[in-house]
Amino acid sequence: MKILVINAGSSSIKYQLFEMPGSTVVAKGMVERIGEPKSRLICVFDGKTHTSEQSIPDHEDAMDLILNTLVSKNLGILHNIAEITAVGHRVVHGGEEFTGSVLIDDRVIASIEKFADLAPLHNPPNLTGIRASIHKLPTAKQIACFDTAFHTTIPQVAYLYGLPYEIYEKYRVRRYGFHGTSHRYVSRRAAVLLAHPTDRVNLVTCHLGNGCSITAVKNGKSIDTSMGLTPLEGVVMGTRTGDLDPAILFYLADKGYSIDELNAMCNKKGGLLGISGKSNDMRNLTELAEKGDKRAQLAIDIFCYRIKKYVGAYAAVLGRLDAIVFTGGIGENCPHIRAGVCSELDAIGAILNPAKNAAKLAKEDDIQADTSRVKIFVIATNEEAAIAEDTYLLSK
C-alpha cells in the first residue's frame, strides 16, 4: 500500500511517500515559497535530489506539482497516481475532540476549522492541504493525525490554569500541548530500547528544535507537557519567549505596546533571538559563543537551564524515571546542549557519559554513564513514519 504523508504550512508542503507495511520511504521532499514568484520543488528519490523552480500560486497548484512529480516518467516513482491509496495529514490542533488519528469527513473538517482560533498559524494551512488533497486524490482515504492527540491523557490537575473555571467552560482555555506525534514516536522507541512494554515506561521526552517542548510520560501516556493553550508556553525557544509573568504584558501595554506588537514580541522576536540579539539558530549561536559573544552564550545557558528545570520537575511528578530522551534538530545534533541540560542531574539518577555524548551517534543511541540509574537516549524523531502507520491502520 502506498501512503502519502502531507505536512502543509502557510507557504510550504512537506511530503513523504511510504510503502506500507514496513514504513519504507519511497520518495520525499517539499514545495517551498508557495505564492512567491520563484517557488521551488525538491524531490529525493533513489538517492538523488531533484529540484525545479517555477511560480506556484497556491497549495492546490503545489499538490498538482507534487503528484505530477511522483508520476513523472523521468523519475519513475509511480506509474499512476491511483497507486496512492491513502493520505495522512499532520494537523496541529485537535482540541479536546480528537484523542487519536481519524478518517476525515465533513465533521472533522468543521472541527479543524473551529480550532483554527487556537492555532491560527497552523490549522488553516493544514486544512488547505487537506482540501487540495481531497480534490486531487478523490478516491484516496484522507486521515488527520493531530499533534495534540497524544496529550489528551493529561489530567485536569495538569491542564487547568488558575483562571476562573468558567473561562475553561466557555472557551476551553486549558493546556493542550503540541509535538505530540514526536513525543509518542520517541516514547515507543524508548520502550523498545529499554525492553519494557510501552505501558510500563516512565520518561521525560525533550523535543528540541526551533520550537521546543518537554513531556512527562507515565506508563506510556502523556501526563504533563510544557506547551500550553498555544505553542508559546514552556521553555525558551528559537523565537518564542516560553514561560513569563503575564503581568509583563500588562506592564508593556501601559507603556504603549499594542496587542499585535506584544504578540510579535512573544512569538517572533523573543527566545534565543531576543536574548542574543543575533540569531534563533543554535548553530549560529554556538559559533558566536565560541568567538566570545556573551549574549549568545547567555541565550544558550538560559535555554539549557529552563529545560533542566522542566526535566527535574517532571522527574518529581513521575516518581520513577526510566529515561530522558532527546530528539528534534537540537536534541539530536547538539551535544553541548545535552551536556548543559544533564549537568548536575545526579540527584535524579541521570549521569551523562561525556565521551558517548560527544561521539557520532546512531539514529538511536544511549549516552549515559555506566553509573547512571536513568538511561539517557538520543532518538531521531520520525513524525512522518508515525503518521504513515496511523494512516495505514485506519485505511485497511
C-alpha cell of residue 376? 539517557
Cell of 35: 505564492
The residue with cell 524515571 is 321
pTM: 0.92
The residue among 125, 24, 7 whose CA lies nearest residue 77 is 24
Residue 117 pLDDT: 81
Alpha-carbon distance 371 to 306, whole Å?
Answer: 25
Q: How far apart are CA 317 and CA 158, in angstroms?
A: 10
343 contacts: CB under 8 Å, gap ≥ 6: 304, 308, 352
Sign of the dihedral defined by the CA atoms of residues 153, 156, 158, 159, in that order: positive
Residue at 21: amino acid letter? P
Specify the pLDDT at position 118.
79
Residue with cell string 517542548: 213
CB within 8 Å of 93: residues ≥ 6 apart: 112, 115, 116, 118, 119, 122, 123, 146, 147, 148, 176
What pLDDT does residue 284 have? 96
Separation CA 343–CA 6 (nearest Å): 38
Catalytic residue chosen out of the listed positions 61, 147, 245, 301: 147
- Per the DSSP assignment, residues forming a β-bridge with 255 are none
4 contacts: CB under 8 Å, gap ≥ 6: 15, 16, 17, 18, 70, 84, 86, 87, 88, 133, 137, 140
What Cα–Cα distance (Å) separates residue 169 from each residue in 160, 162, 163, 227?
A: 11, 13, 11, 20
| pLDDT score for 373 | 98
Q: Please say whether the structural domain 2-146 has been given the CATH code 3.30.420.40.
A: yes
In sequence order, the 6+-apart residues with CB closer than 8 A to the CB of 99 are: 149, 152
Residues in the chain: 396
Write down the pLDDT at residue 128. Answer: 87
| Contacts for 393 with CB less than 8 Å, ≥ 6 apart | none
The reply to whether 293 belongs to the active site is: no
196-383, which class in CATH?
Answer: alpha beta
What pLDDT score was predicted for residue 121? 73
Would the CATH topology of 2-146 be identical to that of 196-383? Answer: yes
Dihedral angle at the C-alpha atoms of 72, 74, 77, 82, nearest 10 degrees? 30
Per-residue pLDDT at 303 = 98
> For the chain, how long is the longest CA-to-CA vector?
63
Q: Are 78 and 70 in contact (CB under 8 A)?
A: yes
Domain ranges of the chain: 2-146, 196-383
10-residue mean pLDDT series, the chain (396 residues): 90 92 94 88 94 89 91 91 94 91 95 85 86 91 95 98 98 95 96 97 96 97 96 95 98 98 95 97 97 98 98 98 97 98 97 97 97 98 94 93
